[in-house]
Amino acid sequence: MILFSENAISYIHRAALQSISAIDEPHYLFLKKLSLVLAGLAQQLTSLWNCGATNTETWLPLLLETMLLLTSHPSLTLAHTANSVWLAFLKHEHISKLHEVLAVVPRWLQAAAPKILKVTYPSSRVSGVNDAVSYACMDYDSEQEFAIFFSRCKTETLESFRYCMIAAPLVTWAYVEQWTHTALDKVDSCPLQLDVTHPLHVEWEALAQVLDVVLSRLLQAEPRPNVA
């Protein structure tokens, strides 16, 4: 448990901040390795939680901030690895109830929801742009390879939403409700003919999937949101 200390997590957090601010391939490769290290730490933490996790208030907020950085990154690969940490924490009986975790749920929802929106692999490779498509070209060699990854990434992110609805039902429901209202406000500007790549179609497809998993846990939520 030596790595679960304020000093160690501070080093990791600073390294993540420095690498994210430098948009180039070497720093991105470092972030991918760092995200795997954090995923391993999270797995160890959840399995050893009852064996002596101490002073969590000093290092857990920093760890969560680091995970938010990775979740917010344009790269879906980084977000997917970070999601494995969020999913492990949200599924954990005790960690999911910690004040430090619940306090960042609103920000996690804001960062994670865009990762469910479908990303189309380009017909020609792009580079030099700091967006999801550019990183997809960097990480995956073909449309098929990326499609397989994206399906897994989306499924696991939706699973985190499912457990978030159990851990923080009022906050999760409020976020999805607000997203629904925002999407409805855009309907008036919707063109008569809408193809599957149109941003509004992409958004509604993602929103429908989120609503499906959130509603599936509504009756188990405590306290239960007011859906009237």
Sign of CA dihedral 91, 94, 95, 101: positive
C-beta separation of 86 from 67 below 8 A: yes
Integer CA distances (angstroms), 134 to 19, 56, 92, 119, 206, in order:
17, 37, 34, 11, 21
C-beta separation of 16 from 33 below 8 A: no
pLDDT at 77: 98
pLDDT at 213: 96
pLDDT tens for each residue of 111-166: 999 999 999 998 776 666 678 999 999 999 999 999 999 999 999 999 999 999 99
pLDDT tens for each residue of 33-81: 999 999 999 999 998 887 666 788 899 999 999 999 999 999 999 999 9
| Structural domain boundaries in the chain | 6-220
- Cα 182 to Cα 162: distance, rounded to the nearest angstrom: 21
Helix/strand/coil for 110: helix
pLDDT at 190: 79
pLDDT at 127: 63
Average pLDDT value for residue range 170-180: 97
- Say yes or no to pLDDT of 228 above 70: no
- Say yes or no to pLDDT of 185 above 70: yes
- Say yes or no to pLDDT of 99 above 80: yes
pLDDT at 54: 72
- Say yes or no to pLDDT of 84 above 80: yes
pLDDT at 1: 62
Give the chain's mean pLDDT. Answer: 92
Identify the weakest region by mean pLDDT among 85-94, 125-134, 165-174, 211-220: 125-134
- Say yes or no to pLDDT of 217 above 80: yes
pLDDT at 28: 94
Helix/strand/coil for 21: helix
pLDDT at 129: 67
Count of C-beta atoms within a 10 Å radius of residue 118: 14
pLDDT at 52: 64
Count of C-beta atoms within a 10 Å radius of residue 59: 22
Q: Which two tokens mark 35?
A: 């995200």
